[in-house]
Amino acid sequence: MVDTICNFNGKTLSRTSAHVMGVLNVTPDSFSDGGRFVGLDQALYQAQAMIDAGAAIIDVGGESTRPGAQAVSEAEELVRVVPVIEALTARFDTIVSVDTSTPAVMVAAAKHGAGLINDVRALQRPGALSAAADTGLAICLMHMQGQPERMQDSPVYGDVVAEVCDFFQRRLTACDLAGIARDRLLLDPGFGFGKALEHNLLLLNRLERLTIEELPLLVGLSRKSMIGAVLNKPVEERLYGSLASVAAAVMKGAWIVRVHDVGPTVDVVRMLNAVRLERAG
């Protein structure tokens, strides 16, 4: 297999192996760990723990996008996110991602050393396309039906795989027009974002069909409600289901898996990489 390298503002990751992205929510209301890492010291301590456990990317988010979440102001998101990104990039050599849909936050994060914009709204907020283009950063475009406030009320699809693919094609065209090169882009099918259980399971089982133009896939399955629905487990008891979902995703082509439980996931991903590549390391 010929290896390729993806660039994240000067830092690189191999495309041959799958990698783990650690979630760092600096919000009071995220569904799994809201409020635990809102202070700078707590955020840095958690980032250090995830890096020590093998995270290749730390994803910093200042606006919860859980079902029913309310938007936060641009000013509040900047206050939550920018000091953390600045501190992380000053202390660690690990890639830092910013989980945001807000143009001003994208620009500020890039200025302070972020390497990836992870946007659940796929650059659809006013000004986001041009802001993201100007940063020069890698960008992850995620599919979401509706908005977080109401996205899980009654999601409906005719063919969820085809509709997610069509959405990606439209956003890729928009990126082309904005001057964003394809080699800067990743795609995320958006598990749990405007999707019922059957949609999530079908997308996971057909994940390889979403590798449009061989663009890398980023997936977030960690502790999500689809796992709770299958296993009848609360959020704090979804580790094994999360690991099983990660295994399925990686074997079907996921390149980056976004998770809360970094250490156990790194073990799973390393083992899967060894199987896929038929070698260790």
CATH number, domain containing residue 243: 3.20.20.20
Q: What is the pLDDT, as a whole number, of residue 146?
A: 73
User: What is the length of the chain?
Assistant: 281
CA distance 116 to 138: 5
Distances (CA, A) of 247 to 57, 82, 101, 211, 278: 18, 33, 28, 17, 16
Distance between CA atoms of 242 and 262, rounded to whole angstroms? Answer: 11
**What pLDDT is stored for residue 31 in this prediction?**
44
Angle at 138 between CA 102 and CA 75, to 5 degrees: 20
Dihedral pair phi/psi, residue 80, rounded to 5°: -70, -40
User: How many H-runs (helices) and E-runs (strands) does the chain carry?
Assistant: 9, 10
pLDDT of residue 34: 47
**Number of domains forming the structure of the chain:** 1
Using CB atoms within 10 Å of the CB of residue 159, give its burial: 0 to 12 exposed, 13 to 18 middle, 19+ buried.
exposed
The pTM assigned to this predicted structure is 0.93
pLDDT digit string (tens) for 119-170?
Answer: 999 999 999 999 999 999 999 999 998 777 676 778 899 999 999 999 999 9
The rounded average pLDDT for each run of 10 residues, N- to C-terminus, in the chain (281 residues) is 73 95 82 57 93 98 76 90 96 97 98 97 97 98 83 86 97 98 96 95 97 94 96 96 98 97 98 92 65
Chain centroid offset of residue 265 CA? 15
What's the rounded Cα separation, in Å, for the pair 37 and 237? Answer: 20
Start-to-end CA distance of the chain, whole Å, equals 15
How far apart are the C-alpha atoms of 224 and 155, rounded to whole Å? Answer: 16
- Give residue 50's pLDDT: 97
**Structural domain range at position 254:** 5-277
Predicted pLDDT of residue 3 = 63
Q: What does the alpha-carbon distance between residue 11 and residue 57 come to, in Å, rounded to a whole number?
A: 10
b/e per residue 99-120 (b: at least 16 CB within 10 A): bbbbbebbbbbbebbbbbbbbb
- Residue 61: what pLDDT? 92
The catalytic residues are 224, 258
Question: What percent of the chain shows pLDDT beyond 70?
Answer: 92
CB 93 within 8 A of CB 11: yes
